[in-house]
Amino acid sequence: MRLSKYLADAGIASRRKSEKIIADGRIQINGVVVSEQGWVVDPDKDIVMFDGMRVCFQEKIYIMLNKPAGYICSVNDPHGRPTVIELVGDIKNRLYPVGRLDLDTEGLLILSNDGEFTNRMIHPRYHINKKYQAWIEGHITPAALKNLAQGVELEDGLTAPASVTVLEQNQQSTMIEIEIHEGRKRQVKRMCAAVGFPVISLKRTAFAFLTLDNLETGQYRHLNPQEIEHLYKLARSNTN
């Protein structure tokens, strides 16, 4: 097995990040530092160390959490804020958020220790759609809706086409549903602000075909093998 795949499968990092870790000389195989990419590992025989720690295969875990607002999407927070990892604290394996939701964003978040899966779910080239419901200030105009759908010019470039619909309206605000696949930092909030309708609150309601269904805020469930296979297949077929 190629070394970068071995590291990704062992949950160290995505394949791309593992290549960087190798190039940085942080991996030893059988006591020898290996910094070239071409190495092949025999998982039954070779002893692989990362920063001096033995790399072991772990059971792969895939969790879907209904994230409450007020929890940060990191493994730990230097400012001491609650993390999403605390919400799955009864699972003893090391888990990482698959992409990020902002501190004040709620909704569907996947957590896993499968680095390759994480990469496929969040890299824009795999086109995994994510759906959000956003309450925005004011009554959105047809021109702004069209702009959101066609692509908005942000400081990091034009956004890809999105699917946008109006779900509800009251005197001061509108609830829209927006589906995107890029997952740039604070993307929905920046898109809405750029067309003149700042976001008041944001919830992710779907990740590919997965929806929250009856999952209460703060609760999680394991994905089943069919769901995991389906997500992998989607990522594969979206790049063909």
Q: How far is the CB of 40 from ligand URA (least distance, A)?
A: 39
Nearest to 83 by CA among 71, 93, 95: 71
User: Which is closer to ligand URA, CB of 12 or CB of 108?
Assistant: 108
User: Which is closer to ligand URA, CB of 69 or CB of 91?
Assistant: 69
Instruction: Give 186-216 as a DSSP string.
Output: THHHHHHHHTT--EEEEEEEEETTEE-TTPP
The tally of CA atoms less than 13 A away on the side-chain side of residue 46 is 22
Separation CA 217–CA 106 (nearest Å)? 8
Identify whether 90 is a catalytic site residue. Answer: no
Does 118 bind ligand URA (CB under 6 A)? Our answer is no
User: Which is closer to ligand URA, CB of 29 or CB of 87?
Assistant: 87
Select the residue interacting with ligand URA from 14, 18, 66, 105 (CB under 6 A).
105
156 by Cβ neighbours in 10 Å (0-12 / 13-18 / 19+) ranks as exposed
Select the residue interacting with ligand URA from 26, 123, 181, 189 (CB under 6 A).
189
Does 202 bind ligand URA (CB under 6 A)? Our answer is yes
Residue recorded with tokens 């025989």: 45
Does 177 bind ligand URA (CB under 6 A)? Our answer is no
Separation CA 105–CA 66 (nearest Å)? 11
User: Which is closer to ligand URA, CB of 12 or CB of 101?
Assistant: 101
Among all residues, which ones are annotated catalytic? 102
Query: Using CB under 6 A as the criterion, which residues of the chain lie in contact with ligand URA when the complex forms?
Result: 101-102, 105, 186-189, 202
